[in-house]
Amino acid sequence: MASGKTATTVSAVPPPHAAIHRAVLAIPRGCVASYGEVAARAGLPGRARLVGRVLAAAGEAARLPWHRVLRANGQLAFPPDSAAFREQKRRLAAEGVILRGTRVDLGRHGWQCNLDAELWAP
């Protein structure tokens, strides 16, 4: 890398960042979660903006499924005319996640917030 930075692993980042990495890695294929939900699952409630900063700083070398993280209303966080929006949309579509305009149907593709349903559902 031109800046002299090297690829990082989860163990090479600060503990809060590692917790965010683990939470993002846990989002199942074909599902999405909000920045706030990722923060809460990482033990950092109220730190949704930190999730965004950590994902932006992680880069491709971290191999995080960043495309599965959305705004709380199911909307992609990037402007619709941006390359990042098109890439996120492409990656979600490859996993069977359907967008209506700039939003994902959270009722259909949202990561379950109910732990009982996750543990006991068929």
What is the total count of domains within the chain? 1
Residue 13, pLDDT score: 65
The arithmetic mean of pLDDT across residues 71-85, rounded, is 95
Q: Is 100 helix (H, G, I), strand (E, B) or coil?
A: strand
Range of the domain at 101: 10-120
The pLDDT of residue 119: 61
pLDDT of the residue at 2: 43
Tally the residues of the chain: 122
pTM across the whole model: 0.80
d(CA 99, CA 5): 35
**Tell me, what CATH number does 115's domain have?**
1.10.10.10
In a domain, 2, yes or no: no
Residue 93 located in a structural domain: yes
Q: Is residue 3 part of a domain?
A: no
60: in domain: yes
Give residue 7's pLDDT. Answer: 47
Question: Where would I find the beta strands (DSSP E) of the chain?
Answer: 33-34, 69-70, 99-100, 103-104
On whether residue 5 sits in a domain, the answer given is no
With 0-12 / 13-18 / 19 or more C-beta atoms within 10 angstroms meaning exposed / middle / buried, residue 119 is: exposed
Q: Tell whether the model's pLDDT for residue 20 goes beyond 70.
A: yes
- Per the model's pLDDT, the better-predicted residue between 80 and 120 turns out to be 80
81 pLDDT band, cuts 50/70/90, is very high
19 belongs to a structural domain: yes
Q: What percent of the chain has pLDDT over 90?
A: 69
Residue 32, φ and ψ in degrees, nearest 5:
-130, 160
Judge whether 45 lies within some domain.
yes
Residue 84: inside a domain? yes
For 21-65, write each residue's pLDDT tens digit.
999 999 999 999 999 999 999 999 999 999 999 999 998 888 999
